Amino acid sequence: MSDTAPPPVVRRHALQGRVRPPHPAAPPGFLRRHVFSLDHKVIGRQYLDLALVAVLTGMVLSWLMRFHLAYPEAALPGLGALAPNRAPNGVMTPELYLSLMTMHGTIMVFFVLTTAPFAGFGNFVLPLQVGAEDMAFPRFNMMSFWVTLAAFLVLVAAFFVPEGPPLSGWTAYAPLSAIGKDAGPGQGLGQTLWVCSIALFCVAQLLGSLNFIATTLDCRTRGMSLMRLPQSTWAWFITSVIALIAFSVLLPACILLLLDRVAGTSFFVPGGLVVSDRLQPHTGGSPLLWQHLFWFFGHPEVYIAILPGFGIVSHILPAFARKPLLGPRVVIGCMVAIGFLSYTVWGHHMFLSGMNPVSATLFSVPTLIITIPATIVTLLWIGTLYGSRLRLTTAALFCLGFVSVFVTGGMSGFFLAQPSIDTYLHGTYFVVGHFHFVMGVAAMFGIFAGVYFWFPKMYGRMLDERLGKLHFVLTLVGVYCIFMPMHYLGLAGNVRRYSAFTDDYMKGSLPLHRFITIAALFTGAVQLVFLANLIRSRLRGAKAPDNPWEATTLEWATSSPPPADNFGGHPPVVARGPNEYGVPGPTGDFVMQAAPELGEV
């Protein structure tokens, strides 16, 4: 490239293709700038704010459930007033417990674990990392957020309808979810709202993932070849491909379920069912069809939640280890392999569902094979630490924590992937412990790492590191105290989704349940430290420099926070990959992706 004037900025707009002059200033007006903004940075922060509201809601629900499990007869002050007919005198009814459980799962999986690591961070960081001014289709991007918000509001509305939220779990197995209020309280309007919410969510995520893919492929700045993309962008890109396919299948499933509920069709409901003493007016539907469609989405959804965490850790760890990621191409290859394999394993949720037992063995093999790329990536993270000069910031600590909890969650997956062992452990707390570690806690640690890492770029202020480290240590101990004992419960045959343990053999598990409840209340309370840190730092945190972590990627080559068009009208030109750590550079032991002589602003 010449070293004369920087190249003109080409702005491509949704459905428009005209060449436009750059617009360095944000649009005027509070609404256009902060609410109905087309700016990916604003939309990314909106997603993260939504996820924060959702995660606090989901956490409070889990507190209520945990309290009831440990003290089934105790009254919760205030609960009786909130839901008089579902918690008489403040003691939770079984149906309220199941409603809370359903809402906890749905809110966490969709509105936290999908929106935060994927839609939230992806939106804020991905265009910066590829050197784009914005997403490929900013209008779709804005629509994607608002539809997600609408989906969340529709879901939460289920709390306020007379019979309350649905009680069929986040998997909404038919026919329980398909036959209306005969199946139980909350299965009327509450369940209909649930289906509508998830369908809306699918639409939103389809728009979002389409945008991510197009942006990664077509909006990269000069010099940003695919192999120079940071690991995190690769992860969001692969996740988008998975999401595009997964939500394309969940949406039809939701539409068919909705028709079964409101239009009297029989896609998922067989004939001859007698529910609440009433013969149901359906014929010939297949409950297993719902399970197949749901898990064809549902298992890839696990990777939609966790792969961004892979990307975030692979991106952040080298920046604090001050050395290149070990085997960066291998990590990308493994993520691609995991994405591919994620579509071949959905049946491992259905070993005991009544499907052909031969297919159980067929689904088991790819499930076990997924552990190979997952093991490789884990080893590469650990190997990256070897011989490093590890800077133990909060973000780095959460990366280490991520590796630890991911290993733990992966190990229990090894048990459940085998049909013969699943015969015993399926439907027990072993499964609850497993997926909370691998999908809940690991993904959350990825989110925390991302927050501590990118907060300075998002808000121009640093988070408090002392509070951050306190938050990390207490959270790490807390999550192990909550979720590790669940494996013991599962081994002892303790069944999940029970609002109380009245069975003789399960009564003995009560002390362990009390321990878990105390740990859950404690760990939840610890999150107040995080919340306080967010609020305090946003208002009064130390001013953030452009590149506080001495990182190499493009998001650190612009101001904190970046201008409305990201690079002030001078898109960076990329000269090298993101992995130049531990090498002599102009400003330290690293060289940024945009070479200073070409990318100067």
Interface with other proteins includes 160 (CB under 8 A)? no
- Candidates 317, 380, 447, 591: give the one binding other proteins (CB under 8 A): 380
- Candidates 23, 34, 389, 543: give the one binding other proteins (CB under 8 A): 389
Q: Which helix (H) or strand (E) holds 589?
A: strand 588-590
Q: Which stretch binds other proteins (CB under 8 A): 217-225, 536-544, 550-558, 561-569?
A: 217-225
- Candidates 287, 309, 339, 446: give the one binding other proteins (CB under 8 A): 287
* Least distance between other proteins and beta carbon 438 (Å): 13
Closest CA to 259 of 285, 236, 224: 285
* Least distance between other proteins and beta carbon 280 (Å): 8
- Candidates 78, 391, 531, 597: give the one binding other proteins (CB under 8 A): 391
CA distance 323 to 221: 25
Closest CA to 117 of 44, 15, 199: 44
Burial of 183 (0-12, 13-18, 19+ CB in 10 A): buried
Interface with other proteins includes 251 (CB under 8 A)? yes
Which residues are CB-contacts of 138 (< 8 A; sequence separation ≥ 6)?
13, 14, 38, 39, 40
Interface with other proteins includes 225 (CB under 8 A)? yes
CA distance 600 to 539: 31
Q: Which stretch binds other proteins (CB under 8 A): 94-102, 188-196, 305-313, 547-555?
A: 94-102
231-262 and 287-321 are packed helices; what angle lies between their axes, rounded to 10 degrees?
160
Interface with other proteins includes 223 (CB under 8 A)? yes
Interface with other proteins includes 530 (CB under 8 A)? no
Q: Which residue number, 361 or 587, has a Cβ lying nearer to other proteins? A: 361
Interface with other proteins includes 514 (CB under 8 A)? no
Q: Which residue number, 153 or 473, has a Cβ lying nearer to other proteins? A: 473
Interface with other proteins includes 455 (CB under 8 A)? no
Q: Which residue number, 160 or 414, has a Cβ lying nearer to other proteins? A: 414
Interface with other proteins includes 365 (CB under 8 A)? yes
Interface with other proteins includes 467 (CB under 8 A)? no
* Least distance between other proteins and beta carbon 239 (Å): 14
The one-letter amino acid code at 406 reads F
Q: Which stretch binds other proteins (CB under 8 A): 24-32, 74-82, 142-150, 351-359?
A: 351-359
3-state secondary structure 137-183: CHHHHHHHHHHHHHHHHHHHHHHHCCCCCCCCCCCCCCCCCCCHHHH
Q: Which residue number, 56 or 510, has a Cβ lying nearer to other proteins? A: 510
Which residues are CB-contacts of 579 (< 8 A; sequence separation ≥ 6)?
318, 324, 325, 328, 552
Interface with other proteins includes 344 (CB under 8 A)? no
Interface with other proteins includes 346 (CB under 8 A)? no
Residues within window 314-333 making contact with other proteins, judged by CB under 8 A: 321-323, 326-327, 330
Q: Which stretch binds other proteins (CB under 8 A): 58-66, 169-177, 438-446, 540-548?
A: 169-177
The one-letter amino acid code at 570 reads H
Residue 110 backbone dihedrals phi, psi, to 5 degrees: -85, -50
328-341 and 287-321 are packed helices; what angle lies between their axes, rounded to 10 degrees?
170
Interface with other proteins includes 94 (CB under 8 A)? yes
Burial of 169 (0-12, 13-18, 19+ CB in 10 A): middle
- For residue 4, how many other CB atoms are within 10 A of its CB? 6
Show the site string, 45-74: x = touches other proteins by CB under 8 A, - = not.
Answer: ------------------------------
* Least distance between other proteins and beta carbon 115 (Å): 19
